[in-house]
Chain A
Amino acid sequence: MSLFRKMKRTKISDKTKPMTIPSKVVMDQNKIPDSLAETEEKIRGILGKNDDFLVKRFKIFGQFSAAIFYFSNLVNQDIINKDIIRPLMYVPEHLANREKTLKNLIEIIMEETLYHGQSKVEERLDELLTVLLRGETVIFIDGIKEGINISTREVEHRSVSQPETEQVILGPREGFIENIDSNIAMLRYRLPTADFQVRSMKIGRLTKSTVYYCYIKGIANETVVHEVEKRLSAIEIDAIMDAGYLEQFIEDNHFTPFPQIQSTERPDKTVANLAEGRVAILVDGSPFALLVPVVFNQFYQTTEDYSSRFLMGTFARFARMLALVFSLIFPSLYVSLIAFNPELLPTEFAVAVAGGRAGVPYPAVVEVLIIEISMEILREATVRLPRQVGGALSIVGVLVVGQAAVEAGLASPITVVVIALTTIGSFATPAYTAAFALRMLRFPIMILAGIFGLYGVMVGIILTFNHLLSLKSFGVPYMAPVSPEDKQGMKDVVTRSPLWWMSKRPDFLQTVNRTRHDQDDQNQ
């Protein structure tokens, strides 16, 4: 299917590539030397000077010389002491009379001695070094060319709490954290089905971040999954700090203000989208999950819509849509009405507005632009404020922009009201990235309104909509289910129809299984 455009590959300059382990080891041969001293020297040579890298020598069963290697800050020291070193040093009773030689030592250790569920024997040095750097423990025995690697990773992470960017009143309060294993656990316990697939890959030369992409087999369209895989493997970068980095590499169109991938911190939202047929991408180190493919009307929907009763959900959605429309065109409408067509307003109101604007020296569009720009600066400033100063400064901002500017003659009171409503409207949009897009588009439309009035606003709106209609996210048209019309999808666009009406999955995702629920499936 030629629905997907070719992705541009971004290459980092080869001259500055850091030395990765495989390249170092390949130079030296990937084998573990027989002698323990040689192994230790080799490993220390590759890893360089690390004061948190510990090597403890001991004797297994009192006979065999061995050493255990680990990074002290990444491991759970208790497990190492109790479950690894202790059973190895202390001969257990059932082995007292067994003959232990180098040949059967590995087998005895792995199958009868170690108290650990995740342990493996590995003979490649590069693999052992990679896992060592992730926090696992490696045991080398003098005279044996294999190493035992045991999972002992324990890193500090924050506790699961309500995500700050997506707060709800009715609904679960769990949010993803940076540790990807906890995130996958949160998804798995909500989807205890064999069809839930989790595939992984490692991206990032330095960070080697684990990236998991999950989908539900039998619901998600295989083409989308393949496309996700293809785009993720094409990424070449040295460090992935956050899921946002991935988003920038795999999106369809880099030059549009509108996001084509949704990111969320909530596991319940992720699971709901997985159940509709989307693919979720998670990165180690980032609490955000990316959901693809995406359509525009997802940006004003929240999980709360679905947790509440359908009338509540519908009403809240109307309010949000209105806020969205406001945040885009309200200042432009104000400018065009005041500057070009005051006859549209009721007479008393028009007179009051004109009176308010009497002292302002500039035309309406300049005044609106000045206040808008100061509002944007204010908004950026408040994001970075520490909590203690934040409250006071927002009051100062309101007073300065609102009262003082009006009194100084820089703005009229009605302008401040309009801009305030616009800003509040943009906060009402649940998706931060989409709200940002509309915030940005406000300015060209305002300028068009200043030049051409209402005609200019319409021209701006037409251009915006045409652009939206031409976007695609992983092959799905961005304005589905409004534009390629889809009756099932329409039930969820403006109104949030009752859950029992929405029995089929939306058409635009081209899912394998189209029905959400069926009377016969009750007992599954």
Chain B
Amino acid sequence: MEYPRNITTVQATTILISTIIGVGVLPLPLFAVQGGGTGAPLVTFAGIVLAASGLFILTILGIRHPQKTLISYSEDIVGKWIGRFFSIIVISFFLFLSGLAAREFGEVVVSAVLRETPLEITVIVMLLIACISVRYNINTFAYIHNFYVPAILAPGLIIVALSLKNANPLYLRPIMESNLTSMLKGMLTISALFQGSFIVTMIIPFMKNPRKAKKASFWSIFITGSFYLLIVIATVAVFGPEEIKQIFWPTLELARTTAVPGNILQRLDVIFLAVWVTAVFTTLFSSYYFTIFSIKQLCKLKDHRLLSFFIMPFVFFLAMMPQNILQLYGVIKLVGKAGLLITILYPGLLLMIDIFKSWRKKKRAAQQS
């Protein structure tokens, strides 16, 4: 089924923003502090730069092949079977990612809000909304992300703004701690939080003006990067790095300690979580949509809607595999690092091969003429 190219640049930007900002925001300061201590903001910044370069590579690749998604043009660049093999790896990676995102959010809900609900139920509910929503076409996909972005950015910014009155700038110094290897590891982990940006490969074929994808990528990384940086700075300034190392979800704690002036509403973390459901939903929606859409392209099917309920049990199985939250975070870090290979190294290789091929083609054409 061919859809008309309808996604505007602003919509592409919002798709990227809402995909990247997801459940990863909750443990973000923990990862940053584990990597760099008080140098957490710097670690975050380095992670953002790495992620931005990855996105840049993807965007350039996409612009060179404006009619095709990664699944299709990887077959062109490295040949049918190698391309398909790596596409299957990419698809399974995103399947994993969807499962882990649903599981992580299920854990958050069960420990913070619905203490007596079994974990399976919250995970299933999250996956079910994703399943139902994946049945729409790509234009509705864009509209949905476009619609929810203000709802995602606003609570984070409000929490950050309101919490700064408890901030202690001393916690942010020294800017860089001397342990470089842990900083590097932290940078990689944080960069893994931006993996949702891979979805740009699916978006570019449907954009009205694919050349403007660069602008969309730049702005999305800029906005999400600043958002993440602000959250890390605010959390570290309010709690301090040692305290954060004890908390699984520092951002949630930040929301909990914030009070609306005048004590109209206390314990804002529940509201924060409720609104955060939209952020997690958009991320899960994107990765699940990417998985289904890519399977459809790989197997040359006509319609992706049937797949949505069929693939769901696999995602659920992957989601429930870690036995407890510690194992979950171990798996997330591992998958994140593997993901960096898949989302940065593989596109980088593709780009180099693609440039090499077209350089050779030009040389041959120049020789013949």
A3 proximity list for chain B (CB < 8 A)? 4
**Given A341-B113, A455-B109, A346:B136 Cβ within 8 A:** no
**Inter-chain contact count A-B, CB under 8 Å?**
87
Contact of B125 with A453 in the complex, beta carbons under 8 Å: no
Across the interface, name the chain A residue whose C-beta is closest to B105. Answer: A455
Comparing A31-39, A254-262, A318-326, A458-466, the segment that makes contact with chain B is: A458-466
Contact of B132 with A463 in the complex, beta carbons under 8 Å: yes
A21 proximity list for chain B (CB < 8 A)? none
Contact of B274 with A452 in the complex, beta carbons under 8 Å: no
Q: Does A118 contact B (CB under 8 A)?
A: no
Contact of B113 with A455 in the complex, beta carbons under 8 Å: yes
- Taking CB atoms and an 8 Å cut-off, the chain B residues in 67-119 that contact chain A are 109, 113-114, 117
B133 proximity list for chain A (CB < 8 A)? 463, 466
B274 proximity list for chain A (CB < 8 A)? 454-455, 457-458
Taken together as a complex, chains A and B put the C-alpha atoms of A462 and B133 apart, in Å, by: 10
Comparing B27-35, B243-251, B259-267, B312-320, the segment that makes contact with chain A is: B259-267
Across the interface, name the chain A residue whose C-beta is closest to B140. Answer: A470
**What is the CB-to-nearest-CB distance from A509 to chain B, in angstroms, rounded to a whole number?**
16
Comparing B142-150, B196-204, B292-300, the segment that makes contact with chain A is: B142-150
Q: Does B60 contact A (CB under 8 A)?
A: no
Across the interface, name the chain A residue whose C-beta is closest to B7. Answer: A484
Contact of A469 with B281 in the complex, beta carbons under 8 Å: no
- Taking CB atoms and an 8 Å cut-off, the chain A residues in 463-488 that contact chain B are 463, 465-466, 469-470, 477, 479, 482-485
B271 proximity list for chain A (CB < 8 A)? 344, 454
A457 proximity list for chain B (CB < 8 A)? 274
B158 proximity list for chain A (CB < 8 A)? none
Q: Does A520 contact B (CB under 8 A)?
A: no
**Given A452-B125, A470-B140, A483:B146 Cβ within 8 A:** yes
Taken together as a complex, chains A and B put the C-alpha atoms of A482 and B281 apart, in Å, by: 20
Contact of B146 with A344 in the complex, beta carbons under 8 Å: no
Taken together as a complex, chains A and B put the C-alpha atoms of A482 and B271 apart, in Å, by: 24
Q: Does B167 contact A (CB under 8 A)?
A: no
B265 proximity list for chain A (CB < 8 A)? 344
Q: Does B129 contact A (CB under 8 A)?
A: yes
**What is the CB-to-nearest-CB distance from B308 to chain A, in angstroms, rounded to a whole number?**
13
Contact of A343 with B125 in the complex, beta carbons under 8 Å: no
**Contact residue among A344, A452, A459, A483 (Cβ-Cβ distance under 8 Å from B147):** A483
Q: Does A61 contact B (CB under 8 A)?
A: no
Q: Does B273 contact A (CB under 8 A)?
A: yes
Q: Does B63 contact A (CB under 8 A)?
A: no
Q: Does A340 contact B (CB under 8 A)?
A: yes
**Contact residue among B6, B125, B140, B263 (Cβ-Cβ distance under 8 Å from A459):** B125
Taken together as a complex, chains A and B put the C-alpha atoms of A240 and B123 apart, in Å, by: 49
Q: Does B8 contact A (CB under 8 A)?
A: yes
Q: Does B342 contact A (CB under 8 A)?
A: no
In the complex, which range does the number of interface residues on chain A fall in? 20 to 34
**What is the CB-to-nearest-CB distance from A298 to chain B, in angstroms, rounded to a whole number?**
17
Contact of B267 with A484 in the complex, beta carbons under 8 Å: no
Contact of B267 with A343 in the complex, beta carbons under 8 Å: yes
Q: Does B11 contact A (CB under 8 A)?
A: yes
Contact of A484 with B266 in the complex, beta carbons under 8 Å: no
**Contact residue among B109, B113, B122, B277 (Cβ-Cβ distance under 8 Å from A462):** B277
Contact of A484 with B140 in the complex, beta carbons under 8 Å: no
Contact of A452 with B140 in the complex, beta carbons under 8 Å: no
Contact of B267 with A485 in the complex, beta carbons under 8 Å: no
Interface string of A354-365 (1 = CB under 8 A from B): 000000000000
Contact of A346 with B263 in the complex, beta carbons under 8 Å: yes
Interface centre among B114, B117, B139, B143 (most CB of A within 10 A): B143
B153 proximity list for chain A (CB < 8 A)? none
Contact of A455 with B273 in the complex, beta carbons under 8 Å: yes
Q: Does B49 contact A (CB under 8 A)?
A: no
**What is the CB-to-nearest-CB distance from A445 to chain B, in angstroms, rounded to a whole number?**
13
Contact of B114 with A479 in the complex, beta carbons under 8 Å: no
Q: Does B275 contact A (CB under 8 A)?
A: yes
**What is the CB-to-nearest-CB distance from A17 to chain B, in angstroms, rounded to a whole number?**
39
A455 proximity list for chain B (CB < 8 A)? 109, 113-114, 122, 125, 273-274, 277
Across the interface, name the chain B residue whose C-beta is closest to A456. Answer: B125
Across the interface, name the chain A residue whose C-beta is closest to B132. Answer: A463
**What is the CB-to-nearest-CB distance from A71 to chain B, in angstroms, rounded to a whole number?**
54
Taken together as a complex, chains A and B put the C-alpha atoms of A462 and B130 apart, in Å, by: 10
Interface centre among A452, A459, A469 (most CB of B within 10 A): A469
**What is the CB-to-nearest-CB distance from A353 to chain B, in angstroms, rounded to a whole number?**
15
**Given A452-B117, A459-B277, A469:B263 Cβ within 8 A:** no
Contact of B143 with A483 in the complex, beta carbons under 8 Å: yes
Taken together as a complex, chains A and B put the C-alpha atoms of A344 and B270 apart, in Å, by: 8
Contact of A453 with B113 in the complex, beta carbons under 8 Å: yes
Taken together as a complex, chains A and B put the C-alpha atoms of A30 and B73 apart, in Å, by: 68
Contact of B129 with A463 in the complex, beta carbons under 8 Å: yes
A462 proximity list for chain B (CB < 8 A)? 129, 277-278, 281
**What is the CB-to-nearest-CB distance from B100 to chain A, in angstroms, rounded to a whole number?**
19
**Given A470-B140, A484-B11, A465:B113 Cβ within 8 A:** no
B144 proximity list for chain A (CB < 8 A)? 465-466, 469, 483
Taken together as a complex, chains A and B put the C-alpha atoms of A462 and B276 apart, in Å, by: 11
Taken together as a complex, chains A and B put the C-alpha atoms of A470 and B266 apart, in Å, by: 36
**What is the CB-to-nearest-CB distance from B252 to chain A, in angstroms, rounded to a whole number?**
14
A484 proximity list for chain B (CB < 8 A)? 6, 8, 11, 142-143, 146
**Given A455-B274, A458-B277, A469:B114 Cβ within 8 A:** no
Taken together as a complex, chains A and B put the C-alpha atoms of A458 and B147 apart, in Å, by: 15
Taken together as a complex, chains A and B put the C-alpha atoms of A453 and B117 apart, in Å, by: 11
B146 proximity list for chain A (CB < 8 A)? 483-485
Q: Does B10 contact A (CB under 8 A)?
A: yes
**What is the CB-to-nearest-CB distance from B363 to chain A, in angstroms, rounded to a whole number?**
43
B140 proximity list for chain A (CB < 8 A)? 466, 469-470
**What is the CB-to-nearest-CB distance from B289 to chain A, in angstroms, rounded to a whole number?**
12
B273 proximity list for chain A (CB < 8 A)? 454-455
B11 proximity list for chain A (CB < 8 A)? 484-485
**What is the CB-to-nearest-CB distance from A496 to chain B, in angstroms, rounded to a whole number?**
20
* Contacts from B to A (Cβ < 8 Å): 4, 6, 8, 10-11, 109, 113-114, 117, 122, 125, 129, 132-133, 136, 139-140, 142-144, 146-148, 263-267, 270-271, 273-275, 277-278, 281
Can you report 11 residue pairs joining A to B where beta carbons are below 8 Å apart?
A340-B114, A344-B271, A458-B278, A459-B125, A465-B148, A466-B133, A466-B140, A470-B136, A477-B139, A483-B147, A484-B143
Known pairs A452-B117, A463-B133, A484-B143 / 16 extra A-B pairs, C-beta < 8 Å:
A3-B4, A340-B113, A343-B270, A346-B266, A455-B109, A455-B125, A458-B277, A458-B278, A465-B148, A466-B140, A479-B143, A483-B144, A483-B146, A484-B6, A485-B10, A485-B11
* Contacts from A to B (Cβ < 8 Å): 2-3, 340-341, 343-344, 346, 452-455, 457-459, 462-463, 465-466, 469-470, 477, 479, 482-485
Listed from nearest, the 10 A-B pairs whose CB atoms lie closest are A483-B143, A458-B277, A470-B140, A454-B274, A469-B143, A470-B136, A466-B133, A458-B274, A343-B267, A483-B147
